[in-house]
Structure 1
């Protein structure tokens, strides 16, 4: 009886601590501003810590079964526990969540006016990450990015061939496959495409289509190249743990 009471008290305390981390003002404002009432009342998007809404006038959609807290922005799922308070959302175009998604602390998300960004089920972006979408970015299911990673589909500035005067392509779509494990400080630049079950080493720079290398590969370097075949994160072994740990 004493043990049962202790468990209940401990569970209540943990839930209380968790809900104290939620930024309820931003959470309520965002959900009821962007979604129909029947969706908004379920509070599918939670914000944790300080976050700036530079703009949320774009089209934001959630596909699949709507659940409470299925999308967390600033979600405390990593080892670090402190927010710097620099998280920012700037959505002018279309942002689609294909299911559950977790942003770590202090992320920056920009979707341009005519751009489309699709984020796969159980994909994630670690703390201090950046998503800058001016044309198209698609992350597959379980495409999980480590801290300080960035996904940018543009050069930002026009570049020219100084001999011919030809203007070079400024942006190109990015497609990240399912079950991609991307380590910390990886830069995914315009035109990058990865196969399913791709692992990307820390501090790598990805700039091209890697799908011809096949699945279950490890790439890395500046620029990234094939390091090893027949390697993958143990997704089946971790799936249950990920679902339990990252679902509210």
Structure 2
């Protein structure tokens, strides 16, 4: 199947879920524009909570869910998961690529900035608050979570691992298979090497250092004053 035919095929298959999804979440005037294009490969596990489009100009298919191409994955068969009970705020256009898993619990808020791109097979688990800035590229098989999911209790009966907000600044690029854990804050312009783990304790090292290439476990600066761009 050539590229043009494949794209047409995927668009046609997306129509039923796209219509359902937009009219489920959005007010009528916004829903009619079908701003969120939903692939037929997305499993709508939970369509609860709410979606807010926090942008002035709303266009058809400005947000794509379950689309995109990464050469090492089978985009025709990989399945994305939408498990949302809380709130997702879209600040503009963006892509949640094929095979992405999005889970937002009832008290969780996920904020996605303008021109974000989550390429493939990445997972976001939000129980409190995760903020992703503008122009952020998240490569394949990343995991971002603001919770340990299971409580850890000390000898006095107190929980010692409460959920904590995650912040990813503007113009960041997260390489493949990075793990971002609760309480982590990635400064603007940050680039993470493949396999990097960022925790709350990493904040002491990263501080407010913008435009830095970070890598390693424990994390350390590799190169200062860097920027990145899509080819």
TM-score (norm 1): 0.83
Residues 69 and 75 of structure 2 are in contact (CA less than 8 Å); yes or no, is this contact kept in structure 1? no
Distance in 2 (CA, whole Å) between partners of 1:211 and 1:61 is 31
Structural mapping, 1:89-104, within 5 Å: 89-104=82-97
Residues 197 and 232 of structure 1 are in contact (CA less than 8 Å); yes or no, is this contact kept in structure 2? yes
Distance in 2 (CA, whole Å) between partners of 1:218 and 1:161 is 37
Residues 117 and 138 of structure 1 are in contact (CA less than 8 Å); yes or no, is this contact kept in structure 2? yes
Shift of residue 231 of structure 1? 1.5
Aligned-residue Cα RMSD (Å) equals 2.0
Residues 157 and 170 of structure 1 are in contact (CA less than 8 Å); yes or no, is this contact kept in structure 2? no
Distance in 1 (CA, whole Å) between partners of 2:50 and 2:60 is 20
Shift of residue 56 of structure 1? 1.2
For structure 2, the 5+ residue unaligned runs are none
Shift of residue 159 of structure 1? 1.8
- Secondary structure (helix, strand or coil) at the match of 1:131 reads strand
Is 1:168 the counterpart of 2:163? The answer is no
Residues 152 and 189 of structure 1 are in contact (CA less than 8 Å); yes or no, is this contact kept in structure 2? yes
Give the equivalent residue in structure 2 for 1:187. Answer: 179
Is 1:72 the counterpart of 2:64? The answer is yes
Residues 126 and 149 of structure 1 are in contact (CA less than 8 Å); yes or no, is this contact kept in structure 2? no
1:67 and 1:215, CA in 2 relative to 1: closer, same or farther beyond 3 A?
Answer: same
Is 1:32 the counterpart of 2:20? The answer is no
Distance in 2 (CA, whole Å) between partners of 1:83 and 1:192 is 34
- Secondary structure (helix, strand or coil) at the match of 1:219 reads strand
- Secondary structure (helix, strand or coil) at the match of 2:160 reads coil
Is 1:153 the counterpart of 2:142? The answer is no
Distance in 2 (CA, whole Å) between partners of 1:19 and 1:38 is 26
Give the equivalent residue in structure 2 for 1:18. Answer: 7
2:137 maps to which of 121, 138, 144? 144
TM-score (norm 2): 0.89
1:119 maps to which of 100, 112, 115? 112
- Which has the greater radius of gyration? 1
Give the equivalent residue in structure 2 for 1:88. Answer: 81
Shift of residue 228 of structure 1? 2.0
Give the equivalent residue in structure 2 for 1:59. Answer: 50
- Secondary structure (helix, strand or coil) at the match of 1:29 reads helix
Of residues 13-22 and 43-52 in structure 1, the stretch that sits farther from structure 2 once superposed is: 13-22
Structural mapping, 1:220-235, within 5 Å: 220-234=215-229
Residues 141 and 179 of structure 1 are in contact (CA less than 8 Å); yes or no, is this contact kept in structure 2? yes
Shift of residue 73 of structure 1? 0.9
Higher share in helix: 1
Shift of residue 119 of structure 1? 0.4
Residues 95 and 116 of structure 2 are in contact (CA less than 8 Å); yes or no, is this contact kept in structure 1? yes
Higher share in strand: 2
Distance in 2 (CA, whole Å) between partners of 1:226 and 1:205 is 13
